[in-house]
């Protein structure tokens, strides 16, 4: 069973990134090749008692300065919860999540320097003194991007919807459906400026599904414009997906701030 799941994941990676649709002549965004899978690290953090966000941000500035000097700086963004699935019985457990986006080779080099050099280890110790952060790694494939908007918008909104394939549905079938939606978005994205699929690869045993749809909006007006479209019959366009392809948990929404671009 585990072997079959691994084979299916490889097929999904291969099938999904070929479906990438861009509103630009090239396929690069902030140094990331959007036609290939790339790595996302999620630092899911809660500040230690008495630590301020300003202190944590000061450490992040030191980290970015170090990463730039070592030529391993990632795209860094921070998401804060806005509309979560948390409630009194199951509260949201983190103050914020920092996402570090890079290609695999650059990120492997970064971790070797982080854990194997004097300055890297000193920064690591300082980081751990400020917050408890659960670190996860994931594959990501961009399916649609308005690259001009993504490259210029540093304050935006990001929705998450975790999904699991229905029994008997292959990754290839899911990927083909994603490609169909991505093609349609070239004509009308409904206010969306970015859409990627994320699949945990390390530390994701408790993930809420097999994969997550991660959708980027430039503002709340665009997010609510899409809600209005769905409420007024647009739901019919995705009915087959939820009935036939995947079971999904429903969307949550975070704010996102770009902290650094290489």
Q: Residue 10: is its pLDDT beyond 90?
A: no
Q: Residue 11: is its pLDDT beyond 60?
A: no
pLDDT tens digit sequence for 46-94? 999 999 999 999 999 999 999 999 999 999 999 999 999 988 888 888 9
Supply the pLDDT for residue 238: 83
Provide the mean pLDDT of the chain.
88
Other CB atoms closer than 10 Å to residue 95's CB: what's the count?
16
3-state secondary structure of 96: strand
CATH architecture, domain defined by 2-260:
2-Layer Sandwich (3.30)
pLDDT higher at 88 or 258? 258
Supply the pLDDT for residue 90: 86
State mean pLDDT over 191-196.
93
User: What pLDDT band is residue 28 in, cutting at 50, 70 and 90?
Assistant: confident
Q: How far is CA 262 from CA 71, 73, 102, 115, 151, in A?
A: 9, 6, 10, 21, 11
Q: Residue 21: is its pLDDT beyond 90?
A: no
Supply the pLDDT for residue 185: 84
Supply the pLDDT for residue 15: 41
What are the residue boundaries of the structural domains of the chain, listed by start? 2-260
> DSSP secondary-structure letter at 61?
H
Phi-psi map region of 114: left, alpha, beta (phi>0 left; psi -120 to 50 alpha):
alpha
Give the predicted TM-score (pTM) of the model: 0.88
> DSSP secondary-structure letter at 191?
T
User: What pLDDT band is residue 125 in, cutting at 50, 70 and 90?
Assistant: very high
State mean pLDDT over 199-212.
93
How far apart are the C-alpha atoms of 26 and 1, rounded to whole Å?
39
Supply the pLDDT for residue 74: 96
Task: Flag the least confident range among 77-91, 99-113, 195-209, 229-243.
Answer: 229-243
């Amino acid at each position: 069973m585990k072997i079959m799941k691994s084979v299916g994941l490889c097929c999904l990676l291969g099938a999904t990134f070929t479906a990438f649709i861009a509103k630009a002549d090239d396929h690069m965004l902030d140094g990331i090749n959007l036609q290939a899978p790339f790595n996302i690290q999620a630092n899911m953090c809660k500040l230690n008692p008495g630590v301020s966000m300003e202190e944590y941000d000061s450490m992040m500035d030191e980290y970015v300065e170090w990463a730039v000097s070592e030529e391993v700086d990632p795209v860094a963004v921070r998401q804060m919860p806005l509309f979560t699935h948390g409630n009194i019985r199951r509260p949201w457990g983190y103050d914020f999540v920092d996402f570090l986006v890079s290609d695999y080779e650059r990120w492997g080099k970064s971790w070797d320097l982080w854990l194997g050099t004097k300055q890297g280890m000193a920064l690591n110790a300082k980081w751990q003194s400020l917050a408890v952060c659960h670190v996860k790694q994931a594959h990501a494939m961009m399916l649609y991007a308005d690259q001009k908007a993504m490259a210029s918008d540093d304050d935006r909104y990001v929705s998450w919807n975790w999904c699991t394939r229905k029994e008997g549905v292959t990754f290839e079938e899911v990927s083909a459906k994603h490609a169909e939606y991505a093609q349609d978005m070239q004509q009308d994205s409904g206010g969306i400026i970015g859409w990627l699929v994320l699949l945990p690869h390390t530390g994701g045993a408790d993930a809420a599904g097999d994969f997550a749809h991660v959708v980027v909006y430039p503002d709340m007006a665009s997010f609510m414009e899409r809600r209005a479209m769905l409420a007024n019959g647009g739901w019919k366009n995705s009915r087959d997906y939820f009935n036939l392809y995947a079971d999904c948990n429903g969307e949550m929404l975070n704010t996102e701030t770009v902290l650094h671009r290489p």
